[in-house]
Amino acid sequence: MSSQYRAVRWLLAACSLMLLTVPVRAELPAEPTTGPETVVRLPTPYPQSWAMVHNFSFVALIDSSFGLVDTSTGHFKGIISAGQFATLQWSQKRQKFYVGETIHSRGNRGTREDLIAVYDFENLKLVKDIVIPTKRANSVVLKASTAITADDRFLIVYNFDGSMSLTVIDLDTESVVDEIPTAGCALAYPDTRGGIFQLCGDGKLAHLQLDSRGGLKKRTTSEMFNDIDTDPLSEKASLIGQTWYFTTYLGEVQPIDVSGKTPAIKRRWWLTDEAERKDNWRPAGWHGTAGDASGALYVAMTPNGYNGSHKDPALEVWVYDPSKARRIKTIKLETPGLSIGVANGNQADLLVLNVAGGLDVYDTRNGKLSRTLYDIGSAPMQVHAVGTAQ
Amino acid sequence: MKRGICWFLLVLTSGIAFADGPLKPEPLNQHTSLPDTWPDHWLLVHDLTWFKFLEGRMLVVDPLAADVAGQFKGSMSSSLNGAYERSLKRNEHYIAETFWSRGNRGGERTDTVTIYDRATLKYLDEIIIPPKRLSGMPKNISTAITPDERFLLIYNFTPSQSVSVVDLESRRFVGEADIGGCGFVIATGQRSFFSLCSNGTVRVVHLDDTGRVQGTQTSPQFFDADEDPLFETAALSPGKAVFPTFQGRIVEIDTRREMPRIMKPWWLTTSQERGWRPGGARPAVADASGLLYVLMQPDGAEGTHKNGGSEVWVVDQKTSKRLSRIVLKNWGIALGATGKGENRLLVVTNGDLGLDIYRIPEGAFVQTLAVAAEAPLLTLPVN
Amino acid sequence: MNVMEKVTRRIARQSSRRGFLGKLGGLLVGAAAIPLLPVARASSAGPASRVPAQSTGNPMDPGDPTTCEYWRYCGIDGYICSCCGGSQNQCPPGTEMSPMTWVGTCRNPADGKNYVISYNDCCGKSGCGRCLCNRNEDDKPVYRPPANNDINWCMAGSNVYNCSTAVILGLAEA
């Protein structure tokens, strides 16, 4: 054997030996099935693109849910399970969700219990069950059924069991502190000073100032301004800045300014011009109003409106500068929409729950559909933007 | 929606005068009811509702009616994979249910046997039982009822295995029988039941007339749960429980006496046919005349036992001979049978979760039901 | 033919029809086809998968854990937690990993080894409803509980079922 050959053989042997003794990472490590690493925790505050989708679950009312999604990636982040006719409120300051729900002891029969279930943002875990009087309004997805006062002190729950009242919950102690009878008046819209106003069956609004313990301090009513028989205000309003914007069924905007001590009913203006009114363009959708951080008002609209079209799907979203009562943009929807919301960030994204059960995300700069999120429940009917600009 | 109807009714009853038209005002609070005796061919459909477990339901269906309105007769709640039994002599349905105090987010668990009136489907009563019953896919042997309809037996898995005994006459939970290592309940004799054990035996429990455990026995080993396990669904007929195995044997167990008699297993397939295997969520069922139907898939292998099958093989249990092969119109995943005499029907839950109806024993396809269910994996005869 | 794929497509059609679509009485102006549930097949070409694709980030742990074909899911039965806010080995926020479960053995195509996979359920919230997947390799009947995937293992705590994970316990014995 030549010395060269012997050297090569030696080299080969040495290399083989080295390879055998160098530890090679050959397998995947064992993973825990107990302990905190087994559960995902969420970044808080939530990124501005995150939203909660309310699955009303029409085919199984007692098994509803709120799905947390990232509208910029389409990823599903987690859920809050809820009972029937649930409501959602949240506090950015406290980083908590407040879920109103009705549960029966035997599922779809039995003893009724009404609750506000409190969840934390980071873990989506139940923090507390607040038991409330069994009279909370069971309405099909209605944002104004509950409200949090502007000072973040109280959660207000509208009750309807034949008679109307409000349950007041102190969010510091997470307990019920009062029940205020509100005969003839419904729902709760916060002002800027810790009170709320309601819409009444006689066409007026009622303003309730609360004291520091959540009791009624003072109640005032407006003059009649809402002609419910002819052209009622839709309950599905949005607060933009310090003004609530309501639309009427036929297409007027009714601003209600809450910057002062009592709500001021401002002059109305039409969403449509005469030609559009001839084509019966009207507000539509399940929840058809939204606002963005720049102050723009978004209204879901449908042509060929008629008596009863106020909850029909919308074909377009019209965008306004409400301070000038002027339309600035029209966004045509690729799929008719049921409810709209806006995720505010560097730019506003228009979120549209569509009739095929998807969540469409539109770039409001150019009106183009950026993406659609699917499988967000059997009946997604409301979208809430729960992120904050970072 | 509901509020609108409420206001309408308030207006109707408020005494406002209406002009006399061709239609007269109608009384409120009417509801339909079902006949006291139900036709033999009607069907109970257990909907597991796997996208909404809380809202499980039992549907009462006429599988020969032409449309949804004719087919759908009524329903009962079957919360969280409820299990169904009935008493014909008391005219009662029994559904073992599970509830959570906080609904779909848990809380405190309560298990009940809910009692419904047979004809009106009205809720009658509930019997609270230990909150332990098996939570899983529906199996027809999760519960059993003694032949005299006195005691209801419920298989528990927590993971401790036991059987709850409920006295249906006094409507009381009587006690629990420990069956560690074994699962499910099949009634045998008058006051006994047996369970399938993972070591290839059956455990037999004898009850006295108050429903308390009198004694237990274990059979010799007769199957190998690793090599060729018994499916945990049985084709039940009076005096007999028949189990197919994953590979295609048939195990018959005589249930006429307090001690069940296990017959020698035999192959459903010839040695050339061994690629054919039983499959599905419920691969075997017996009809009212005692014929056995087995759902069979070609090219069965390890892991395919839940896939279902493309044919149903009809077997004469007296001779253990295959009589015919029904080629299914649609792939099937579970079998059920209802009806008697000339009106026997095979119910096949198909791959789209529709219900296909065939006349048996000939296997003539009748229709796919218009009644929709989310997960109808278990269908039962009404009588 | 994979039964679960047919099953989920049928359910999707039914759910859409009976849900609010039915309520609207057919006002589907130019609406897309009835949506399918995302039983995303590995070979799905064409329009984007209905659930965004994911990766574990580890080439030794290959595949997309939102799909039924991911190697760890050889015996899974239920909703895939990766589609529900969790991951292949983590529960979604607010749920708890069930302490009891059944185990299977799956082969990792990256290294050719067999791993023992624990299919721990995540409990405490209602069913996720996304990415339903059922594979039955080595599944045994319910009376052999540690090897059965039909059991709702969330019954260990007082909780309801949300989704299923696939946690590596270790290498299977040779």
pLDDT in tens, A313-330: 999 999 999 999 999 999
B265 in reach of chain C (CB within 8 A):
no
CB atoms closer than 10 angstroms to residue A95: 14
User: φ and ψ at A320, to 5 degrees?
Assistant: -130, 150
Name the residue with higher pLDDT: B19 or A152. A152
Pairing mode, strands A84-91 and A216-221: unpaired
Q: Using an 8 Å Cβ cutoff, are B76 and B58 in contact? A: yes
pLDDT of residue C6 exceeding 60, the answer is: no
Chain B partners of C123 at a C-beta cutoff of 8 Å? 106
Query: Using CB atoms within 10 A of its CB, is residue B39 exposed (0-12), middle (13-18) or buried (19+)?
Result: middle
Which of B54, B122, B123, B124 is the best mutation test for A, with the most CBs of A within 10 A?
B54
Residues on C contacting B at a C-beta cutoff of 8 Å: 1, 3, 6-7, 9-11, 14-15, 18, 100, 123-127, 129, 132, 134-145, 148, 150-152, 154-161
Residues C61, C64, C77, C102: which is the catalytic one? C102
User: φ and ψ at C21, to 5 degrees?
Assistant: -60, -45
Mean pLDDT of chain B: 90
Name the residue with higher pLDDT: B359 or C75. B359
CB contact under 8 A, B54 and A107: yes
Subunits close to B (at least 3 CB pairs below 8 A) = A, C
Q: What per-residue confidence (pLDDT) applies to B59?
A: 92
pLDDT of residue C21 exceeding 90, the answer is: no
High-pLDDT (> 90) share of chain C, %: 30
pLDDT of residue B118 exceeding 60, the answer is: yes
What is the arithmetic mean of pLDDT over B295-300?
94
Q: What per-residue confidence (pLDDT) applies to B307?
A: 87
Which of B1, B51, B133, B368 is the best mutation test for C, with the most CBs of C within 10 A?
B51
Chain A, nearest residue to B374 by Cα: A59
Q: Give the confidence band of C44 by pLDDT, cuts at 50, 70, 90.
A: very low
pLDDT of residue C47 exceeding 70, the answer is: no
Q: What per-residue confidence (pLDDT) applies to C2?
A: 38
DSSP secondary-structure letter at B136? B
A74-78, A303-307, C47-51: which has the minimum mean pLDDT? C47-51
Whether ipTM exceeds 0.95 = no
pLDDT of residue C150 exceeding 90, the answer is: no
Q: Give the confidence band of A13 by pLDDT, cuts at 50, 70, 90.
A: low
Name the residue with higher pLDDT: B238 or A11. B238
CB contact under 8 A, B306 and C151: no
Q: Is C102 a catalytic residue?
A: yes
Q: What per-residue confidence (pLDDT) applies to B169?
A: 96
The span from the CA of B325 to the CA of B322, in Å, is 8
Q: Give the confidence band of B304 by pLDDT, cuts at 50, 70, 90.
A: confident
What is the arithmetic mean of pLDDT over B222-230?
91
Residues C121, C138, C139, C150: which is the catalytic one? C121
Q: Which positions ≥6 away from B69 have C-beta within 8 Å?
A: none
Q: Give the confidence band of B122 by pLDDT, cuts at 50, 70, 90.
A: confident
User: φ and ψ at A43, to 5 degrees?
Assistant: -75, 135
B298 in reach of chain A (CB within 8 A):
no
Comparing CA positions, the residue from C126, C161, C95 lying closest to residue A103 is C126
pLDDT tens digit sequence for B273-296: 999 999 999 999 999 999 999 999
CB contact under 8 A, A39 and C92: yes
Chain B partners of A117 at a C-beta cutoff of 8 Å? 105
Q: Give the confidence band of A22 by pLDDT, cuts at 50, 70, 90.
A: very low
Q: What per-residue confidence (pLDDT) applies to C40?
A: 23
C51 in reach of chain A (CB within 8 A):
yes
- Select from B157, B225, B333 the Cβ nearest to the Cβ of C3: B333
The span from the CA of B73 to the CA of C73, in Å, is 40
What is the arithmetic mean of pLDDT over B16-24?
58
What is the arithmetic mean of pLDDT over B320-349?
96
pLDDT of residue C137 exceeding 50, the answer is: yes
Q: What per-residue confidence (pLDDT) applies to B53?
A: 80
pLDDT tens digit sequence for A98-116: 999 999 999 988 899 999 9
CB atoms closer than 10 angstroms to residue B74: 15
How far is CA B90 from each of CA A88, B127, B168, B192, B339, rounded to the nearest angstrom? 47, 16, 10, 21, 21
The span from the CA of A216 to the CA of A178, in Å, is 9
Q: What per-residue confidence (pLDDT) applies to A89?
A: 98
**C94-125 burial by CB neighbour count: b if 16+ within 10 A, else e?**
bbbbbebbbbbbbebeebeeebbbbbbbbbbb
Q: What per-residue confidence (pLDDT) applies to C160?
A: 78
DSSP secondary-structure letter at A117? E
Q: What per-residue confidence (pLDDT) applies to A8?
A: 52
The span from the CA of A135 to the CA of B102, in Å, is 17
pLDDT tens digit sequence for C58-102: 999 999 999 999 999 998 888 899 999 999 999 999 888 988 888
Peptide bond into A45 cis (omega under 30): yes
pLDDT of residue A250 exceeding 80, the answer is: yes
What is the arithmetic mean of pLDDT over A151-180?
96
pLDDT of residue C11 exceeding 90, the answer is: no
DSSP secondary-structure letter at A375? -
- Select from A30, A73, A374 the Cβ nearest to the Cβ of C35: A374
pLDDT of residue B14 exceeding 60, the answer is: no
CB contact under 8 A, B135 and C152: yes
Chain C, nearest residue to B185 by Cα: C143
What is the arithmetic mean of pLDDT over A228-256?
96
Query: Using CB atoms within 10 A of its CB, is residue A6 exposed (0-12), middle (13-18) or buried (19+)?
Result: exposed
- Please give the helix or strand (H or E) that residue B297 lies within, else none: strand B292-297
What is the arithmetic mean of pLDDT over C118-135?
85
Chain A partners of B105 at a C-beta cutoff of 8 Å? 81-82, 117, 126
Mean pLDDT of chain A: 93
Distance, in angstroms, between C34 CA and closest chain A CA? 7
B116 in reach of chain A (CB within 8 A):
no
pLDDT of residue B15 exceeding 50, the answer is: no
CB contact under 8 A, B55 and A108: yes
Q: Give the confidence band of C50 by pLDDT, cuts at 50, 70, 90.
A: confident
Which of B9, B47, B52 is the best mutation test for A, with the most CBs of A within 10 A?
B52
Partners of B251 in the beta sheet? Answer: B243
Q: Is C121 a catalytic residue?
A: yes
pLDDT tens digit sequence for A346-384: 788 999 999 999 999 999 999 999 999 999 998 999 999
Chain C partners of B53 at a C-beta cutoff of 8 Å? 126-127, 160-161
pLDDT of residue B199 exceeding 70, the answer is: yes
Three-class DSSP category at B45: strand
A12-26, A317-331, B62-76: which has the minimum mean pLDDT? A12-26
Q: Give the confidence band of C144 by pLDDT, cuts at 50, 70, 90.
A: low
Distance, in angstroms, between A377 CA and closest chain B CA? 10
Chain C partners of B353 at a C-beta cutoff of 8 Å? 7, 10-11, 14
Comparing CA positions, the residue from A352, A360, A347 lying closest to residue A301 is A352
CB contact under 8 A, B106 and C123: yes
pLDDT of residue C39 exceeding 60, the answer is: no
